[in-house]
Structure 1
Amino acid sequence: MKKVILATAIALCTTSAFAGETAVLKIKGTLTNAACSADMSNGGVIDYGRIALGSLKSDANNVLGTKQLPITITCTAPTKVAFSILDDRADSNAQLPVDVDANKNMTQKVYTYGVGLTAGNVKIGNYGLWLSNATADGVAVNSIGQNSDWAADNWSIGYIPRSDAFSRNAFATKGSSDPLAVTTATFNVNTNLVIRDTTALAITDDTQLDGQVTMTLVYL
């Protein structure tokens, strides 16, 4: 459930495989005062600064390296909370090979993110995104993740967030993959940026990189 105070789940089941004469309707939910919020350093901006075209390759992709942004999630009470990420610039993803943490030369659209178009509608490039240095209430923890179609108790340690909001990431004690209730969680978002060769870009004027994602908190 996404940022709701009262959540209900309705399940309908029959008493036999042969559609008997009775059925049971159940209403489930949780009332809670807990609420969480996310705070991103530097206003949520990862800035690669001014990039001189003359310093870039004209006949090969240009890897501009990694940057890091600290994020803090704060809850009013210990809460099992996760988050999903959606690439708001997915249509501009050039799907150029890029290293995402220890994963080399990734091109899959669900694990890379767009950074906008040139004036001539050329896809500028893309970046990879991953998490590191997670803590919960001052203690180092695992970053864990799962796809939306996985079983509720199936989580993977060190999971790379998907760019299509089809996955969610949470936190677990070291040696565990079970979501942990947290009051304060901190972690770094890391990016690795690659852009096209300058011949393909064909840029004559200043062009802004325009990457953007939306992070949504999800209560477990």
Structure 2
Amino acid sequence: MKNYLAALSATALISVAPFAVAASSTDLTVTGVITPQACTPSLSNGGIIDNGKISAKDLNLDTNTRVGVHPMQLSVTCSAPMAVALYGIDNQASSTLADNYFGLGFTDKGEKIGIFRADIKSAMADGSTLTPIRAYDISGTRPDWVRIEVPGKGQYTSAGTSAPGGRYIPSAVENLTMDLEVVTYIAPANSLTLTDEIKMDGSATFELTYL
């Protein structure tokens, strides 16, 4: 579970009214669980996708060009069955061309290079097929988990099973694997200065959270 530091500030107004008795104290209860179990996420090939060299003449003039589709496996290994999620963070967020895609950085002239996404093709845990699911907020007692195919930034991605009412519940897993397909797009040629080489610099982090 991620650690957070927060300041708690409490103020009170004490008033005296005829024939009234005010309580002189109030209780604050803090709970939580420290667990010896732990999980480790990893990506195949060290999490590196290399699209190689792409000729500028092969780019679409006024629409995005898909330049690469690469398989990758995301794994989570736990010391005991645990329900977990991965939170997507775009380390090049200001360079994205679409809300649910990760950015590829900027050219030397400040132009947005393009975007990439990671499609989930399948999810398996401990020999069973699971459904990829996501939630934008997991702070409540009943997070709204829904089925997905593309784990995006700013959301929690997990794998689970269906529940009554069309809901989904993350499963406790020891060994989870998700087969991904990383798809890369380059911005329209008319939005880029193509006189010099442009280096893609996409970067995303998937942060493990215990549920």
TM-score of Structure 1 vs Structure 2, range by shorter chain: 0.7 to 0.9
SS at match of 2:170: coil
Give the aligned length.
Answer: 192
The structure with the greater share of residues assigned to strand is 1
Matched, 1:55 2:55: no
User: Which residue does 1:2 correspond to in 2?
Assistant: 2
**For each residue in 1:1-46, what CA deviation from the matched residue of structure 2 results, as whole angstroms up to 9, or x when unmatched?**
3279xxxxx9x9xxxxxxx625333231213110000111011012
Deviation at 1:193, TM superposition (A): 2.2
With the length of structure 1 as denominator, give the TM-score of the two structures. Answer: 0.76
RMSD of equivalent CA atoms: 2.6
Matched, 1:25 2:34: no
Tell me how far apart the structure 2 counterparts of residues 30 and 61 of structure 1 sit (CA, whole Å). 47
Q: How does 1:66-215 map to 2 (within 5 A)?
A: 66-93=69-96, 95=97, 107=98, 109=99, 111-148=100-137, 151-159=140-148, 160-163=150-153, 165=154, 167-173=155-161, 177-215=168-206
Gaps of 5+ in 1: 5-9, 13-19, 96-106
Partners of 1:68 and 1:189 within 8 A in 2: yes
Q: 1:152 to 1:190 in 2, by over 3 A?
A: farther
Deviation at 1:131, TM superposition (A): 2.2
Partners of 1:3 and 1:218 within 8 A in 2: no
Percent identity, please. 29
Tell me how far apart the structure 2 counterparts of residues 75 and 128 of structure 1 sit (CA, whole Å). 26
SS at match of 1:42: helix
Tell me how far apart the structure 2 counterparts of residues 37 and 141 of structure 1 sit (CA, whole Å). 19
Q: 1:3 to 1:68 in 2, by over 3 A?
A: farther
- For the pair shown, the structure with the greater C-alpha radius of gyration is 2
Tell me how far apart the structure 2 counterparts of residues 134 and 169 of structure 1 sit (CA, whole Å). 11
Gaps of 5+ in 2: 11-21
